Amino acid sequence: MHNFFWVYDLPTETFAILMIAVFVGFYWAGLIFLRPILRQFVKNTRGANDIVGYVLSCFCVFYGLLLGLIAVTAYQNASETSAHVTHEAAALSALYEDVSRYPEPYGQNLRWILRDYTRYTIKYAWPLQRQGIVPVDGTIRVQAFQEKLLDFQPATPAQEILHAEALRQFNTFLEHRRMRLFSVNTAIPPVMWYVVILGALINIAMVWLFDMKFITHLLLGGLLSAYLGTMIFLIAAMDHPFRGEVAVTPEPFEALYKHMVEE
Amino acid sequence: MERHQSRGLTHRVSRRDFGRHASAAATLAAAQAFAPFLFVGCRPTGMPAGRQPIRVGLLHSQTGTMAISETSLRDVELFAFEQINASGGLLGRQIEAWGPDPKSRTDLYPKRARELIDWGAAALFGCWTSSSRKAVLPVIEEHDRLLFYPVQYEGNESSAHVVYGGLVPNQQILPVIDWLSSPAGGGLKKIFLLGSDYVFPRTANFVAKKYMAAKGMRPAGEMYLPLGHRDFAPVVNLIQASGADCVLSTVNGDSNIGLFNALAEARINPEKLPVMSTSIAEDELRNMLPEQVCGHLSVSCYFQSLPTEANRRWVDDFRHEFGHDRVTGDPLEPQWGLVHLWRQAVERAGSLDTEAIRGAMGEGLTFAGPGGLVQLDPKTQHCTRYFRVGRIRADRQFDIVHQSDAPITPDPYPQIAFPGWSCDWTKGGITRGPEVSIDGDI
């Protein structure tokens, strides 16, 4: 599947048009070159169109269910990843506010590291995630923050409460960060894609078996293929939550960083 | 069919065999003939294949005791590379920077340097302490890479594989002694030399003592304490007892907090006993109480408060990018200049090859940085720099009280301390003089 990642570099409209064009083109090419051969199997069968129609309907129920479930899975993956990103940014924001109450220079040093982490996530981690690479340098920044956070020795009961809250918030942040990193390579398994593609081919092949006027065949089959291409485009666009234009963006981090540098 | 005589045996060579051998010979001959033309465009220039970005390595500790200083350097380097990328890149390619963490451990610096070179780094930017720089030297020399080192250091070193951006003693220690003993500096001639116990303070004070002796001065005292030492009360008593009228401090890191704390507790103010520090910049001041340090002095090539338009613009850009409470300072500005000098050298050489870059640097490069004009001296691969003295303000910034008339040419081997030693990389490198033994075990 890795060979097809270039499609995520295309604008969404181009990607959609390409998928539709591939499916319609394949259908039309098959109609011209393969249909005469395939028609041999049902040529002398009485009511062949009805039989093909029944089988196609039955097939489409199963195939439609499969596509629907996969589309939902892809959407859920993207949506969960987006939630992890939002929660990570929210936890980071809360942590930033907590450490801002620390006495100086601890507060300033801790704020600088969190700001650096946020900047790194936007400018360096995100482009890597878009390529399916798990960014590792954020870990160094997290370690630097943890080191400085644990350096702080609370001197008053109020500082003790604040420090405990900051540690709790730090753990929440770590959890969501880890989930974001796990999501970098989240995708529909290749075996599911094989079944989807095979199903699409069978679907198109069955339409070739119908006996009707060539122009009607071109038009009706073309429409069906175009919709198949659209469905598969939809799943592909939502698959790999950090790739392509329909991807999870660093917007929550960008908003947070703007607040951090402008305070 | 022809017959060949081979080792006394006669065997037949078929047309097919002949054709096979002839093809192989022709292929080899063609490969040999065309190889120089094919490879001249890539290998010798050191450029990565295809449209791959140019990789550079950042060698800075991001955790451990040095992190608070070195992460600012990493930030300024990343900022410089981002700006170069935004303006179209270098030789039409983007620059990709990577900085693994040496964790403030000297033994990890060479390991990380090796990792960066294996990753494909064309040049390395970084190090802070002299020990880390010295630890990295064998690796960069083995792999023929350049290290761009921004921090002031003790001199007595020059490597063809290092470009030094910070001050050396003839740009810092010697002028500061001149200034302190001049009427402008208060005519302070009883100088107490106080330092952390490692290579920079020991060597810097060695040079200082030689220079003071040549001027007919004697240090009021000399003392070294381990890095990280915090109890300076006995030291302050000793300084008072010595009758010193000023302290030239090469104390580094967190120890400065202890030093100024002890001075404040002994009710010693800057009017009574000014401390001239070589290692306190804006970043260090963040960790110190203003009421303890206000009025004391620092020597540097750059202060954030420098009132020039170029500096204001640079500081504004830096703060806009990293936050309005961030500060610039001495090693940040030199490193900014070093990145741009490297860019100029690569552009001029049209190559990433170390020898070609060194050749380009040999023609003399200049960069109008935020701290003023910087010129790379091809003889020493050090930079000409302004000498500046700043008085610490209550807002943790500096009032610049003195600045040299022009940038000072670097000399890593001041003759007053290292007679007979000199360096000229345009004419073969280092000329060695008699061995010089620096006081103390360093």
Of residues B168, B164, B139, B166, the one with CA closest to residue B155: B168
Q: Could you report the per-residue pLDDT of A216-255, keeping only the tens digit for each?
A: 999 999 999 999 999 999 999 999 899 888 889 999 999 9
**Residue B93 DSSP symbol:** B
Cβ A260–B323 below 8 Å, yes or no?
A: yes
Q: Could you report the per-residue pLDDT of A28-65, keeping only the tens digit for each?
A: 999 988 888 877 777 777 788 888 899 999 999 999 99
Name every residue whose Cβ is closer than 8 Å to that of residue A146 and which is 6 or more positions away in sequence: A170
Cβ A119–B322 below 8 Å, yes or no?
A: yes
CA dihedral B397, B403, B408, B410 (to 10 degrees): -30
Regarding beta strands B388-392 and B398-403, do their DSSP bridges make them parallel or antiparallel, or are they unpaired? antiparallel
Q: Which of B67, B100, B320 sits opposite A144 (nearest CB)?
A: B67
Residue of A nearest to B284 (CA): A105
| B53 at A interface, C-beta within 8 A | no
Task: Go through chain A and tell me how many residues it has.
Answer: 263
Separation CA A260–CA B20 (nearest Å): 71
Per-residue confidence of chain B (442 residues) as pLDDT tens digits?
334 433 433 445 455 565 565 555 555 555 554 544 444 444 445 677 777 899 999 999 998 878 877 889 999 999 999 999 999 999 999 999 999 999 989 899 999 999 999 999 999 999 998 889 999 999 999 999 999 999 999 999 999 999 999 999 999 999 999 999 999 998 888 999 999 998 889 999 999 999 999 999 999 999 999 887 889 999 999 999 999 999 999 998 778 989 999 999 999 999 989 999 998 999 889 888 899 999 999 999 999 999 999 999 999 999 999 998 899 998 899 999 999 999 999 999 999 999 999 999 988 899 999 999 999 999 999 999 999 999 999 999 999 999 999 999 999 999 999 999 999 988 888 899 898 888 643 3
In this prediction the pTM is: 0.84
| A107 at B interface, C-beta within 8 A | no
Distances (CA, A) of A189 to A80, B29, B422: 17, 50, 66
Cβ A262–B98 below 8 Å, yes or no?
A: no
Separation CA A157–CA B104 (nearest Å): 33
Separation CA B123–CA B148 (nearest Å): 8
Contact A232, A196 (CB under 8 A): yes
Residue of A nearest to B326 (CA): A112
**Residue B184 DSSP symbol:** G
Separation CA B432–CA B442 (nearest Å): 20
Q: Could you report the per-residue pLDDT of A176-221, keeping only the tens digit for each?
A: 999 999 999 888 998 999 999 999 999 999 999 888 888 999 999 9
- Tell me, what's the pLDDT at B427? 86
Tokens of B26: 């022709």
**Residue B106 DSSP symbol:** T
Cβ A115–B62 below 8 Å, yes or no?
A: no
Within 305-324 of B, beta carbons closer than 8 Å to A belong to 320-324
**ipTM (interface pTM):** 0.81
Name every residue whose Cβ is closer than 8 Å to that of residue A97 and which is 6 or more positions away in sequence: none
> If DSSP codes are grouped into helix, strand and coil, which group holds residue A93?
helix
Question: How far is the alpha carbon of A6 from chain B, nearest alpha carbon, in Å?
Answer: 16
Beta strands in chain A (DSSP E): none
- Tell me, what's the pLDDT at B313? 96
**Phi and psi at residue B297, to the nearest 5°:** -120, 160
Of residues B383, B120, B172, the one with CA closest to residue B279: B172
The residues with which B431 forms a beta bridge, in sequence order, are B422
Beta strands in B85-166 (DSSP E): 95-98, 123-126, 146-149, 162-164
Question: Where are chain A's structural domains?
Answer: 10-262
Residues of B with Cβ-Cβ distance to A113 under 8 angstroms: 71
Regarding beta strands B246-250 and B275-277, do their DSSP bridges make them parallel or antiparallel, or are they unpaired? parallel
Amino acid sitting at position B26: A
Distances (CA, A) of B335 to B164, B330, B403, B435: 9, 9, 20, 32
Within 97-126 of B, beta carbons closer than 8 Å to A belong to 98-101
Name every residue whose Cβ is closer than 8 Å to that of residue B187 and which is 6 or more positions away in sequence: B181
Contact B62, B71 (CB under 8 A): yes
Of residues B205, B197, B173, B176, the one with CA closest to residue B438: B205
- Tell me, what's the pLDDT at B129? 87
Domains, chain B: 54-167+306-387 (3.40.50.2300), 173-277 (3.40.50.2300)
CA dihedral B149, B152, B153, B158 (to 10 degrees): 50
Measured over the CA atoms of residue B252, residue B255, residue B260 and residue B266, the dihedral's sign is negative
Name every residue whose Cβ is closer than 8 Å to that of residue B103 and which is 6 or more positions away in sequence: B61, B62, B63, B64
| B43 at A interface, C-beta within 8 A | no
Contact B370, B306 (CB under 8 A): yes
Contact B247, B293 (CB under 8 A): no
Task: Go through chain B and tell me how many residues it has.
Answer: 442
Separation CA B171–CA B334 (nearest Å): 14
Separation CA B220–CA B189 (nearest Å): 9
Residues of A with Cβ-Cβ distance to B323 under 8 angstroms: 111-112, 115, 260-261, 263
End-to-end Cα distance, chain A: 45
Contact A81, A180 (CB under 8 A): yes
Contact B231, B259 (CB under 8 A): no
Q: Which of A105, A144, A262 sits opposite B62 (nearest CB)?
A: A144
**Phi and psi at residue A187, to the nearest 5°:** -165, 165
Contact B417, B432 (CB under 8 A): no
Residue of B nearest to A260 (CA): B323
Cβ A147–B64 below 8 Å, yes or no?
A: yes
Amino acid sitting at position B296: H
Separation CA B205–CA B191 (nearest Å): 11
Q: Alpha carbon A87 to chain centroid distance?
A: 17
Tokens of A45: 């069968």
Which uninterrupted H or E stretch holds B436? none
Amino acid sitting at position A147: E
- Tell me, what's the pLDDT at B3? 40
| A260 at B interface, C-beta within 8 A | yes
Separation CA A57–CA A66 (nearest Å): 14
Residues of B with Cβ-Cβ distance to A261 under 8 angstroms: 320-324
- Tell me, what's the pLDDT at A125? 95
Separation CA B387–CA B85 (nearest Å): 32
Separation CA B61–CA B84 (nearest Å): 24
Question: How far is the alpha carbon of B128 from chain A, nearest alpha carbon, in Å?
Answer: 18
| A123 at B interface, C-beta within 8 A | yes
Residues of B with Cβ-Cβ distance to A105 under 8 angstroms: 286-287
Separation CA A102–CA B292 (nearest Å): 21
Name every residue whose Cβ is closer than 8 Å to that of residue B230 and which is 6 or more positions away in sequence: B254, B255, B257, B258
Half-sphere exposure of B50 (CA within 13 A, CB side): 3
- Tell me, what's the pLDDT at B28? 53
Q: Alpha carbon B82 to chain centroid distance?
A: 21
Cβ A116–B71 below 8 Å, yes or no?
A: yes
Separation CA B351–CA B98 (nearest Å): 20
Burial of A29 (C-beta count, 10 Å sphere; 0-12/13-18/19+): exposed
